Amino acid sequence: MKLKFAAIVLISSTGFLMSQERFDFKVRNYFFAGFAGDAASLEKGMKICDDALAADPKNAQALVWHGSGVFYEAGQAFQKGDSQQGMELWQRGLKEMSDAVALDPDAPAVVIPRGAVLLTASHFTPPEMARQLIQTGVQDFEKAYQLQGPDLSRLGTHPRGELMIGLADGYSRLGDQEKAQQWFERIQKEMPGTPYAKSAATWLETKSLEPAQAGCLGCHTGK
CA distance 172 to 181: 8
Q: Could you tell me which residues come within 8 angstroms of residue 187 by beta carbon, excluding any fewer than 6 positions away?
A: 161, 164, 165, 168, 196, 197, 199, 200
Whether the Cβ atoms of residue 24 and residue 100 lie closer than 8 Å to each other: no
| Higher local confidence (pLDDT), 112 or 217 | 112
CA distances from 41 to 31, 36, 45, 105, 124 (A): 7, 10, 6, 28, 24
pLDDT tens-place string over residues 75-111: 999 999 999 999 999 999 999 999 999 999 999 889 9
pLDDT surpasses 70 at 21? no
Whole-number pLDDT of residue 8: 53
E runs forming strands in 93-169: none
Whole-number pLDDT of residue 9: 52
Whether the Cβ atoms of residue 168 and residue 184 lie closer than 8 Å to each other: yes
For every residue of 157-209, DSSP letters joined together read: HHHHHHHHHHHHHHHHHHT-HHHHHHHHHHHHHHSTTSHHHHHHHHHHHHS--
Whether the Cβ atoms of residue 42 and residue 30 lie closer than 8 Å to each other: yes
pLDDT tens-place string over residues 146-161: 988 788 888 888 889 9
- For the segment 23-52, the average pLDDT, to the nearest whole number, is 92
Whether the Cβ atoms of residue 134 and residue 126 lie closer than 8 Å to each other: no
pLDDT surpasses 70 at 60? yes
pLDDT tens-place string over residues 162-181: 999 999 999 999 999 999 99
Whole-number pLDDT of residue 152: 87
Least confident of 19-33, 61-75, 77-91, 138-152: 19-33
Is the N-terminal amide bond of 150 cis, ω within 30° of 0?
Answer: yes
What share of the chain in percent tops pLDDT 90? 65
- Dihedral class, residue 213 (left if φ above 0, else alpha if ψ from -120 to 50, else beta): alpha
Whole-number pLDDT of residue 153: 84
pLDDT surpasses 80 at 183? yes
CA distance 80 to 120: 20
Q: What is the mean pLDDT of the chain?
A: 88
Residue 216 has φ and ψ, to the nearest 5°, of 60, 40
CA distance 79 to 2: 11
Q: Could you tell me which residues come within 8 angstroms of residue 60 by beta carbon, excluding any fewer than 6 positions away?
A: 100, 101, 103, 104, 107, 110
Q: What angle do CA 83, 34, 125 make, to 5 degrees?
A: 35
Whole-number pLDDT of residue 32: 85
Question: pLDDT band at residue 222, thresholds of 50, 70 and 90?
Answer: very low
> Which CATH number fits the domain 2-213, given the four candidates 3.90.190.10, 1.20.1250.20, 3.40.50.1220, 1.25.40.10?
1.25.40.10
